[in-house]
Amino acid sequence: MADYQETLDLSSYAALGDSFTEGLNDPGPGDRFAGWADRLAGMLAAQRPDGDFRYANLAVRGRLLDQIVAEQVPQIRQIQPDLVTFCAGGNDILRPGSDPDEIAERFENAVLELRRDAGTVLICTGFDTRTVPVLRHLRGKIATYNVHLRAIADRNGCAVADLWSLRTVHDRRAWSDDRLHLSPEGHQRVALLAARALGLPTEQDPAAPWPAQPEPTAAEVRRENLQWARTYLLPWVGRRLRGESSGDHVEAKRPELLPL
């Protein structure tokens, strides 16, 4: 893990991944999404009094691991940033019949390439889906994948943002209405977690309890679940059946290392 002094010396950062890193459902400037990676970039930039900090976000929603490796990883050799965050494989895990052991092997091959071209690599574990409808049955596969990710980080000297242990994202307020992507506050908590994984002190605590609020009634939960299924689940299943991706015809929002 990078130490505090090393973190302060970071002058460039590139984020790789899918919708999680693109920042879906966290509205940002210019009709684009912000997300935890943009928020982390802002925290890192604030540590450089000279203002000399550049940031690229190559993540595109819907991308599978092999697509990220083919489209995004090679660009790191060209731009050679001080920091890369590489969060990938979640969309692969969602696929029926996917093998977390095999996905992890491909993930590590990409990490080896990134370690040659970037100063520091940070990876993210998967979320604990025990409270998420439909996705809770994938919890075992995600846990297996996470064990591999931690071993990969240990073998290759990567920092780890452990999303599985971040219990505050079990609160429904951490998630947007589609229940697949974080809310703005959820993205903020992940950004804080990533910053701390890099050794950057933060005034806010990603594990701070949420303000108390009344629990929904059973009837309210049923209505919310039905509304969610009609609005989000059925269209998602339809795209899968048609072989479509939410990322079709979408390009990276920050394809080059540029000042914030």
**C-beta separation of 30 from 36 below 8 A:** no
Residue 17 pLDDT = 98
Instruction: Find the range with the poorest average confidence among 68-77, 88-97, 176-185, 247-256.
Output: 247-256
Q: What pLDDT band is residue 91 in, cutting at 50, 70 and 90?
A: very high
Residue 102 tokens read as 């095999």
Q: What's the CA gap between 81 and 41, in Å, rounded?
A: 12
Nearest 10 degrees: Cα torsion 191, 196, 200, 202: 70
pTM comes to 0.91
- pLDDT surpassing 90 at residue 8: no
- Where does the chain show beta strands of DSSP type E? 12-17, 54-57, 83-87, 120-124, 159-161, 254-259
The closest alpha carbon to 160, from 115, 133, 195, 122, belongs to 122
Those residues whose C-beta lies under 8 Å from the C-beta of residue 75, and which sit 6 or more positions away, are: 14, 58, 255
**C-beta separation of 224 from 109 below 8 A:** no
Each residue's pLDDT tens digit, 11-30: 999 999 999 999 999 999 88
Residue 115 pLDDT = 96
Count of domains for the chain:
1
Each residue's pLDDT tens digit, 159-207: 999 999 999 999 999 999 888 899 999 999 999 999 999 999 999 999 9
Q: What pLDDT band is residue 3 in, cutting at 50, 70 and 90?
A: very low
Residue 5 pLDDT = 40
CATH classification at residue 39: 3.40.50.1110
Q: What's the CA gap between 153 and 160, in Å, rounded?
A: 7
Query: Domain residues for 249?
Result: 4-259
Residue 214 pLDDT = 87
Supply the DSSP string of 221-240, one letter for each residue.
HHHHHHHHIIIIIHHHHHHH
Q: What pLDDT band is residue 117 in, cutting at 50, 70 and 90?
A: very high
